[in-house]
Amino acid sequence: MKFPAQTIFRIVSHIAFVATATLLLTGPLHAAGASTASTPSATASGAATASAVPTTQAAPAAYRVSVGDVLSFDILDDAELPTSLTIATDGAAAFPLIGAFKIEGRTIPEAVDALRSEYLSRQLLTDPKLSLSIVTVRPVLILGEVRTPGSFAYYPGLTVEQAVGLAGGPQTAMSNPADRIIAQAKLRGTIEETDVEIVREAVYTARLYAQLRGSEKVDLKDIPESVKMYVDEVSIGPVVAIEEKILKTDLLSTKNQMEILNQSIMQTEASLTILDKLKEQQEEVVALNEQVEARTLALRKRELNTESELSRVKMATSSEKSRLLELISEIGRSNRELANLKLQLETLKANREKEILTLLQEREATLKKLETQRQSTKEQMVLMAAAEVDSSKNEQVSFLYKIDRETGRGEAKTRQSIEATKVTAVLPGDVIFVSIAGL
């Protein structure tokens, strides 16, 4: 088979890169005590290249690829660039020409041999030259007594001690005196902040009771008994002054709204009084007009007046009756307006009282929460002080390490718990638990 000059140059460059990278990888792995697996030699017709060297992370030579690993795959016979593949949850990756092919649980050389056989069996390539390398492997998860637990990138030769270092090192109350001092200062600051919040909420509660009474002064007797001990220990003058300003503003606003509604009610009631008097007068006018109409009709029957005079009298009576109906309608509208104004006034009072009572409930819940938070912080300070006493007796703290590691392949895959030391080698996907001896 003949290849273009470009392809030949590309093959030679890739083989040189793989050989160099393999030499770089082998040194750190032997230094860390990692085991290596031998790779098959190239066939006479053309060898496939199995490279375990990644661009950002690396795994031991005997590492078996697993779900989540990212691989770089290239068919050296073509002019296409290398393809990035991810091992799916079913253990397979989508390879060019053959599609999904399961390689989970295989080493890189084993995976290359299996892929080469697959290409040959399907008669897709006559003499496939393949390159497969690991780009990224599963991260290492570090949990327990470390400063920053979480997942961290794996690199060759990683030990338990180095992994714990990636997580910020072991964490104990007495591991670092400076940290202990900072933690104590933070706890004291939290207690002081909580005390300030308790005072503010307590005076707020007293102001709400004053609003209910309609008073312009905050009475400190309204402060809940459970928090009076905190209020008595601080100067609350400025807090009370601000709350009384809020109180006066609220009372003034409510008073103005109620006065406007009361004035509108009084004006509407006065208008109704006038309308009632007008109605009485109009009823008298209508009655007189009806009497005039009756006399005019009697005279007309006796032909003592004209038809036009009778019509004029009837029109006058009808006009006065219409005026009476208008007054009755106006009285109805005014009554409805009066009822609406009274409803607005009662709604204003009810809503204000309901809002204040709701706020009182919220203040009660907030005060209980703050008291609990203060007590919890105080207990933390006590525990930290006790730990400090213990540390003065025994400065040596021992840590225990345990590795939860995935073993097996396919359906036989299980997780194994391993007792580890600081120098135990870590593999991709390991979960490291750090604990304090004796706790």
The answer on 265 and 234 residing in a single domain is yes
The answer on 39 and 12 residing in a single domain is yes
CA distance 286 to 329: 16
Q: Is residue 135 classed as helix, strand or coil in its secondary structure?
A: strand
The answer on 406 and 389 residing in a single domain is no
What is the domain extent for residue 56? 5-137
Q: Are 127 and 1 spatial neighbours (Cβ–Cβ below 8 Å)?
A: yes
* Nearest Cα residue to 113 out of 22, 25, 49, 53: 49
Give the other-Cβ count within 10 Å of 81's Cβ. 8
Q: Are 224 and 367 spatial neighbours (Cβ–Cβ below 8 Å)?
A: yes
* Nearest Cα residue to 429 out of 395, 403, 409, 402: 403
* Nearest Cα residue to 268 out of 337, 221, 172: 337
pLDDT (tens digit, 9 = 90+) per residue, 85-140?
A: 999 888 899 999 889 999 888 889 999 999 999 999 988 888 888 999 988 888 89
The answer on 256 and 383 residing in a single domain is yes
The answer on 161 and 133 residing in a single domain is no
Q: Are 236 and 197 spatial neighbours (Cβ–Cβ below 8 Å)?
A: no
The answer on 204 and 345 residing in a single domain is yes
The answer on 64 and 164 residing in a single domain is no
Q: What mean pLDDT is predicted for residues 397-422?
A: 82
Number of independent structural domains in the chain: 3
The answer on 313 and 246 residing in a single domain is yes
* Nearest Cα residue to 420 out of 162, 74, 190, 226: 162
Compare 315 and 300 and report the one with higher pLDDT: 315
Q: Which residues pair with 127 in a beta bridge?
A: none
* Nearest Cα residue to 134 out of 65, 203, 33, 188: 65
Q: Worst-scoring range by mean pLDDT, 11-20, 300-309, 339-348, 385-394? A: 11-20
| CATH assignment of the domain containing 28 | 3.30.1950.10
The answer on 364 and 418 residing in a single domain is no
Q: Where does a domain end: 137, 159, 192?
A: 137
CA distance 97 to 125: 10
CA distance 122 to 343: 88
pLDDT (tens digit, 9 = 90+) per residue, 389-400?
A: 655 555 566 888
The answer on 124 and 214 residing in a single domain is no
The answer on 405 and 305 residing in a single domain is no
State how beta strands 150-152 and 130-136 pair. Answer: unpaired
CA distance 218 to 200: 13
The answer on 380 and 279 residing in a single domain is yes
Q: Is residue 82 classed as helix, strand or coil in its secondary structure?
A: coil
